[in-house]
Copies of this chain bind each other. A is one copy, B any other.
Amino acid sequence: MEMTLTELAAGLGADLHGDGDLRVCRVAELAHADAASLAFLADARYRPDLKRTSAAAVILRPGDLADCPVAALVCADPHLAFARAARLLHPTPPVVGGRHPSAVVDDQARVDASAWIGPLVVVEAGAEIGPRVFVGPGCVIGARCRIGEDSRLVARVTLCEGSVVGKRALLHPGCVIGREGFGFARDGQRWLRVPQLGRAVLGDDVEVGVNSAVDRGALGDTLIGDGVKIDSLIQIGHNVAIGENTAMAACSGVSGSTRIGRNCTIGGAVGMAGHLEIGDDVHFTGMAMVTRSFPESGAYSSGIPAMPSAEWRRAVVRFRQLDDLARRLKRLEETLVTNDQPLGQDKT
């Protein structure tokens, strides 16, 4: 879509420096932008690219304006303004209501006339699909599921029976909402499956990535709050609750009944045990191993960063000796104290 810089400045709430009649039709990186492109500078690493850019205009902070060789849209948060500009220049095409003839839609399903049901989709009895919902190829919408307006199921999404999806969801290919979670009772050596009777309920503006799973509740529901963003290959166990605007990077897993607060960020490949309480504004770095509750906001980490393998092998041997090393150190300290040699205060 083509816009003038004047239109963009108005849309972004940015200050325009340069020719407002210039037109751009796409966004691009500073280094690869051409005369029809809009670029941005948010990260100082890319400042060298600014002076050489061929973009029509650049979104940047006031402090970078002097170095900009082309038109500029000046604002306080160039990354956010760039995201908005990209959405204006590259809008998602509007959904055209209808139904592909190959879709299998139960007579007892209610599909809004403005929704699109794509090829080879299955919609079971009692499902309700709201206005302007896009259901891409190969999706399965189980019985009595509900999907709120303007949601987008890209392709091959599965909603199991009774699942609820709010408005403006974005569900990526292969994700599975509402399957029966991993609930068993021990019966001697065997496992007896416990019926999973709750639902998976997703709020508004939720995103679930490729091949991720959000299990239904065992009793009661699994609850994903408004604005939660779940990346790809993530497992969310039964009866988990996640607060508003929490974001989880790929390959993480949350065990059953753990509650995560609002505005948290969970790095990639984080594992959380079950029945934990994680507060608001908690931030876990990638690969953190979360085995206890963290009710207080803050940043938490674990794991050993990679090092040369030979060095690592020695450190691992010593790790197993840690308790012994600590005892030996204590004994040395006591020996020296016995011999009247003064030591500092902070030993434990």
Contacts of A195 in B (CB 8 A): 27, 83, 86-87, 90
Chain A interface size band reads 35 or more
Bound-complex Cα distance A283 to B331 (A) = 35
Q: Which residues of B contact A47 (CB under 8 A)?
A: none
Which residues A175-220 have CB closer than 8 A to chain B? 176, 179-180, 182, 184-187, 189-195, 197, 205, 207, 209-211, 213, 215, 219-220
Do A192 and B344 have beta carbons less than 8 Å apart?
no
The answer, yes or no, to whether A116 is at the interface (CB within 8 Å) is: no
> Nearest Cβ in chain B — how far from A19, in angstroms?
24
CB contacts (< 8 Å) of A6 on chain B: these are none
Please tell me which one of the listed residues B82, B219, B313 contacts residue A27 in the complex, with CB atoms under 8 A apart.
Answer: B219
- Residues of B near A170 (CB, < 8 A) are 193
A102 to B103, CA, bound (A): 9
B29 and A191 contacting across the interface, CB-CB below 8 Å: no
Chain B CB within 8 A of A288 CB: yes
| Residue of A184, A195, A335 most packed against chain B (CB within 10 A) | A195
A66 interface hit (Cβ, 8 Å): no
Pick from B102, B262, B309: contact of A285, CB below 8 A: B309
Asked if A253 meets B255 with Cβ closer than 8 Å, knowing A138-B140, A235-B232, A328-B333, the reply is no
Whether A300 contacts B307 by the Cβ 8 Å rule is yes
- Decide if B122 touches A229 in the complex (CB within 8 Å): no
The CA-CA distance from A141 to B14 in the complex, in Å, is 40
Chain B residues lying within 8 Å of A348, measured Cβ to Cβ, are 321, 324
Complex Cα distance, B119 from A186, in Å, reads 35
**Known A245-B190, A250-B237: A176·B211 in contact at CB below 8 Å:** yes
User: When chains A and B are docked, how far (Å) is the Cα of A232 from the Cα of B160?
Assistant: 15
Q: Is A113 an interface residue (CB 8 A)?
A: no
Return the contact of A235 from the options B86, B191, B233, B302 (Cβ within 8 A).
Answer: B233
Beyond the given A301-B308, A321-B326, A331-B344, please list 5 additional residue pairs across the A-B interface where CB-CB is below 8 A: A82-B185, A87-B195, A90-B195, A179-B209, A210-B215
A-B contact list, 16 entries, CB within 8 Å:
A80-B186, A80-B192, A82-B185, A87-B193, A138-B140, A155-B160, A160-B173, A268-B273, A284-B306, A291-B306, A298-B309, A301-B308, A301-B309, A304-B304, A315-B320, A339-B341
